[in-house]
Chains A and B, each alone.
Chain A
Amino acid sequence: MLPFIRYDRGNTDIETAAPLLLILSLAPFAGSLAAIFLPSDKGTAAAWFSGAVALLCQLLVAGLYPLVASGGVLRYDLQWLPELGLNITLRMDGFAWMFASIITAIGLLVVVYARYYMSASDPVPRFFSMFLAFMGAMLGIVLSGNIIQLAVFWELTSITSFLLIGYWHHNAQARDGARMALTITGTGGLCMFVGLILMGHIVGSYDLDAVLSSGNVIREHPLYTTVLILILLGALTKSAQFPFHFWLPHAMAAPTPVSAYLHSATLVKAGVFLLIRLWPVLAGTDAWFWIVGCAGLTTLLLGAYFAIFQQDLKGLLAYSTISHLGLITVLLSLGSPLAAVAAIFHTMNHATFKASLFMAAGIIDHETGTRDMRKLSGLFRYMPFTATLAMVASAAMAGVPLLNGFLSKEMFFAEAIETHRYNILDTITPYVATLASMFAVTYSLRFIYSVFFGPPPKDLPKIPHEPPHWMRAPIEFLVLACLVVGVIPAFTIGPFLHAAVQSVLGDSTPVYSLAVWHGWNLPLAMSLVALIGGVVLFLLMKSYLATSIEGPPFFRRLEGQRIFERVLVTLSWKWARWLERTASSRRLQPQMRILVFIAFVAGTLPLLLQGFKPSAMALRSVDPAFALLWIIGIICAVGAAYQAKFHRLAALVLLGGAGLVTCITFVWLSAPDLAVTQLLVEIVTTVLILLGLRWLPKRIEDPNDPELMNFPVRLRRLRDLALALACGVGMMLVSYTMMTRNIPDTISSYFLERAYSEGGGTNVVNVILVDFRGFDTLGEIAVLCIVALTVFSLLRRFRPATESLEKPEQQKIQNAFDDDHPDRKKGDSIAEYLLIPSVIMRWMFPVIGMLTAFLFFRGHDLPGGGFAAGIAMSIAFILQYMAGGTRWVEERLRIHPLRWMSIGLLVAMATGLGSWLFGYPFLTSHMQYANLPLIGKIPLATAILFDLGVFSLVLGATVLILIALAHQSVRAPRAQVKAARMAGKETP
């Protein structure tokens, strides 16, 4: 199947570049797979390798910029299930490009950083492998051109981030944090998946381009609110928005490179990405405004407030991230194009300064051994470079002018002032924005002051010093970007931002200016208020914060984690236990009753609701012989049911009787193939159960058993009988009604017409099995193979019950007879027993072998075939066992059922694969008739090879099952000796 490539425009550059998207999205996964195989002490090699992969991706992305800069869209389609509208589509526009470059560029920097951060004692290649897998998943999200595909990559980021957060899995905090992140983002992701499916259902296509162009349809659809809430659940959980924000601080147990990458630049931005991506489709309604706005504003304010009171460096950064994500969410809630521009811009800016701050925090932790701000102080004198870099980055976080954070924050203020809607939420936005900015200034100042200034630190675990130069290099680069963008935005970030904005907003792209200076206006005043207010607030709180315990006052007790754990315990423990106690039973019988009852109701209800009327019973054209046959059959069935408890052998014989009646029915009603197979299987099943009977406990009927008189027992039996009769009558009515109706035209006529011309056989059933539906048969013989292996392995560990170990009654009598007669040796009677039948059985072997060959070769044209031949041949083997005993047979015949099974499966597979060599789909058969001397014309279809595989496998599986059971009687004496020895040890 060749990939089908669709080109979006006539542009030849875009046409040739589109396949690069495939390389871009596969490279990280390939790298991940390769990295996992590196030995765990080759950390540096893994780092170099991952760096090379990240660099390759980064170069690819950079090289694609000219194609998307002017509004071009790269598209690469790979057809997967076009009938269901499921294709693999890679799509890159300006916005996806922006995200892809953030992912690859910061990914590259983090790899460089992690090379120095990770300790050699950790399994570093595993880290890089998971890191690359995460990067691939993130790229997959942003490059998805199909919303189902997007959801798949979305879940993949949840899983890989779980692995990355829990990287230090010996640490309980890391495990808990990873589990919490996975539970919350995973649940959100599943909701989003449902939402996306609904959205695809509304649009009629899962293609992103189709979705993006049908905004009005979606917004006016009655399911809009449902879709919106479900998708928002995904986006808001991923972006750690209130009330789902609490997983992010707990994810700080991850190694710092992970936090720098996942929790600043990528993973948490996936939610923002989705909000922006679907902004043209979903935004602009009241529901959107209220849900997104409330979540965003609360997160903005609470995140900033909580950040002030953190004592852990990474905790502070985590809450600050939450707050900044809230800011972006608020911007998106407003529904104005200018606000969307600001949101996109802030997404980029936040990624740069927050990643560098996380790396700086990691350096401090790495070089001092602690992240507790109460212990850290005065580090400026030990690491002036790192300190300066961190100061610039946190100034950007606080929104100080001439840095990139300032620009997007000004845009945010300008939008907050604008009135978009006349309601309370819109009115309070500017005040909340200013207050949150003030808090941002306070926590940024606190970060810098408490770590780098003040008296020299006391009792740190390590003496601090500057990190290796290359560990600092990524921070230097990012801080430089903050500065350059902050000073000359229009020349640096301008074109990229424009490409991104244009691809999201299209024709409604607003006019915006990226200047640093907009004159004296209200947003500037708000910035000044925030700056001054933040500094004052910090000075007021400085002494309190220096010694305070972790967490904000008033809210300390309101921990999201506790609520989460309580919910988890309630759901997965208390309720589950309650449900198990009340609604389930460990006993099989009630379970069976419930199952059958539900099946009965599920079968009856739809029939009754659809007005099912059974056909009138009429005794027309009943053949008396057939009726007699079934009278016998019914007697056998009822008898088997009646005798199965106390007279097992009788029940088995009666079961065989019912089987034979079934078999004759098949012959009577034009199904010779079924009859042959049924007859053979009947024989094998009977032998099998006979072999098993010996190991069951004796059960002797006691007519005075008090249990029988018991009233509840009788009631229970009556209920069972009623249910059984109901099922029986139901089946009878349904089958009678069905069989007396005219047969509609089905695909059967197709098979009947083509069996000879295309399958090359006249036995249509066999042609269906080995040719038309060969793939099904392959699956079925695989099942048979698995069952045989299971039986084999179960019996290897089988220990017969001790009371069944004795020799059977009959053998005892025979041996006693031999002992009593001096002219006889012990065992003579057994050898002489059934002497004539056993000679006949021995001589039957070649005869049955011939019959097998006959059944097999005629199978394609006349009743027979691989299934029947395989079972017939296995009967030949089992007869030898019965005639000669296990040891006798195995001394004389080489029996390797496992080998036969594997050969069978391989031959069947190889026949199927063979058709690929000739360019046909799997299991296409070829046939022609060959004229052999003496034998005549025989069909030579490749299907006969396939049938040979079926034969070999069925033979192997049947023989394996039977022999495994027969061997128990060889093993039993050994077990008996052992048991006797054990008992002997115990008695003295």
Chain B
Amino acid sequence: MELVLSIGIGVLTASGVWLLFRPRTYQVIIGLSLLSYAVNLFIFGMGRLRVNAPPVLEPGGTGGLLTHTDPIPQALVLTAIVIGFAMTSLFLVVLLASRGFTGTDHVDGRE
């Protein structure tokens, strides 16, 4: 499991970074999204991979790391997903505005 997921993270990172270097704004936006998947999975992975151990307790009970997976990376990633959405939308709008003002979709605003 760990091997598969880490290869996945590596590929997502590499594709994201590659797109960051591209000249078109749309490529950069896709690259940032891929990179944020990679980072989210990476942070999530810091809680180690567990199957069938969601951090949801029995009513009235307590839990521990033996029976449940680590909730903190999940809480971090949950807000990161929402903030990532906000970032994507902001970037998309900047992209559109830049395209409207400069007439090009190059990241520098000129070819």
Contact = CB atoms under 8 A, between A and B. Distances in A.
Given A764-B56, A798-B100, A756 B61 contact: yes
B56 A637 contact: no
Interface residues of A, number: 117
Contacts of A752: 55, 57, 62-65, 68, 71
B17 A596 contact: yes
A697 B99 contact: yes
A765 B2 contact: no
B68 A692 contact: no
Interface in B70-102: 70-72, 74-75, 77-79, 81-90, 92-97, 99-101
B7 A673 contact: no
B81 A764 contact: no
A674 B40 CA distance: 10
Contacts of B7: 630, 634, 732
A623 B1 contact: yes
Contacts of A748: 47, 65, 70-72
Interface string B39-54: 0111011111111111
Nearest to B80: A780
A773 B71 CA distance: 12
Contacts of A732: 6-7, 9-10, 13
B77 A727 contact: no
A739 B6 contact: yes
Contacts of A627: 4
A738 B45 CA distance: 8
Nearest to B69: A670
Interface string B18-57: 1111111011011101100110111011111111111111
A787 B86 contact: yes
Contacts of A800: 96, 100
A891 B107 CA distance: 39
Given A670-B51, A673-B78, A724-B17, A784 B72 contact: no
B57 A755 contact: yes
Contacts of B56: 672, 762-764, 861-863
Given A623-B1, A630-B5, A645-B22, A655 B10 contact: no
A81 interface: no
A794 B97 contact: yes
Contacts of B63: 752-753, 755, 764
A644 interface: yes
Contacts of B107: 588-589
Contacts of B74: 671, 673-674, 765
A958 B83 CA distance: 11
B75 A765 contact: yes
A interface: dominant SS:
helix
B4 A622 contact: yes
Contacts of B3: 617-619, 622, 736
A185 B98 CA distance: 43
Given A671-B69, A738-B46, A801 B82 contact: no
Contacts of A724: 13-15, 17-18, 21
A739 B24 CA distance: 35
Given A670-B54, A681-B82, A721-B18, A588 B108 contact: yes
Interface residues of B, number: 92
Interface stretch (A206-214, A359-367, A661-669, A848-856): A661-669
Considering residues A592, A752, A795, which has the most beta carbons from chain B within 10 angstroms of its beta carbon?
A752
B8 A641 contact: no
A373 to B, nearest CB: 60
A644 B68 contact: no
Contacts of B44: 666, 669, 671, 674
B108 A587 contact: yes
A669 B51 contact: yes
Contacts of A580: none
Contacts of B20: 592, 596
A348 interface: no
A794 B26 contact: no
A908 B87 CA distance: 22
Given A671-B44, A728-B11, A765-B75, A740 B2 contact: yes
Interface of A: 586-589, 592-593, 596, 617-619, 621-623, 626-627, 630, 633-634, 637-638, 640-641, 644-645, 648, 651-652, 655, 658-659, 661-662, 665-666, 668-674, 677-678, 681, 684-685, 688-689, 692, 695-697, 699, 720-721, 723-725, 727-729, 731-733, 735-736, 738-740, 743, 745-749, 751-757, 762-765, 768-769, 773, 776-777, 780, 783-784, 787-788, 790-791, 794-795, 797-801, 861-863, 867, 871, 954, 957-958, 961, 964-965, 968
17 contacts: A588-B107, A621-B1, A641-B19, A644-B31, A665-B5, A668-B51, A671-B69, A671-B74, A672-B56, A674-B81, A724-B17, A729-B10, A752-B68, A768-B72, A790-B93, A863-B54, A961-B89
Given A655-B30, A961-B86, 11 more contacts: A630-B4, A641-B19, A671-B74, A684-B85, A692-B93, A720-B18, A752-B64, A790-B90, A794-B97, A862-B56, A954-B82
